[in-house]
């Protein structure tokens, strides 16, 4: 046996080992990508869950925006109502003061017809 023959035998053994390794790897990848039991199925389920959750987040965001706008309207209405009640309270507090303070007596004047003038 020559050195070249030994070298070709080693290369042939290495090639057969790599062929076996590639075959095992191909089987593992096929099982991994199987949609029923493998990782492919898990990825497909997770992708559908992500889509469902994105839709739920969008719906929740829209509901929160609507509720926020309604709350802002209610807050504005409450503030105006409170201002109205404050005004009524101040008027009620000022009313007794206005009644207690004497009003200056103004003589009531009656207009008399002048004698000699007539509106004919």
Q: What is the pLDDT of residue 103?
A: 60
* Residue 66 domain flag: yes
The answer for residues whose C-beta is within 8 angstroms of residue 98's C-beta and 6 or more apart is none
Residue 70 scores a pLDDT above 70: yes
Which residues constitute the domain of residue 74? Answer: 48-100
Q: How far is CA 19 from the centre of its chain?
A: 56
* Residue 13 domain flag: no
| Residue whose tokens read 């509901």 | 63
Residue 100 scores a pLDDT above 70: no
Instruction: Give whole-number Cα distances, 8 to 11, 21, 100, in Å.
Output: 5, 20, 125
How many domains, in total, are found in the chain?
1
* Residue 10 domain flag: no
Neighbour tally for 96: CB within 10 Å? 9
Residues 24-35: tens digit of each pLDDT: 999 988 887 776
* Residue 21 domain flag: no
Question: What is the value of pTM for the model shown?
Answer: 0.46
* Residue 108 domain flag: no
């Amino acid at each position: 046996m020559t050195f070249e023959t030994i070298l070709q035998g080693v290369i042939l053994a290495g090639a057969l080992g790599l062929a076996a390794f590639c075959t095992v790897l191909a089987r593992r990848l096929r099982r991994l990508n199987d949609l029923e039991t493998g990782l492919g199925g898990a990825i497909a389920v997770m992708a559908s869950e992500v889509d469902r959750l994105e839709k739920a987040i969008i719906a929740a965001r829209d509901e929160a925006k609507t509720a926020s706008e309604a709350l802002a309207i209610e807050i504005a209405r409450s503030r105006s109502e409170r201002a109205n009640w404050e005004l009524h309270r101040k008027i009620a507090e000022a009313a007794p003061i206005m009644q207690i303070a004497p009003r200056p007596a103004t003589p009531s004047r009656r207009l008399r017809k002048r004698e000699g003038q007539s509106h004919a």
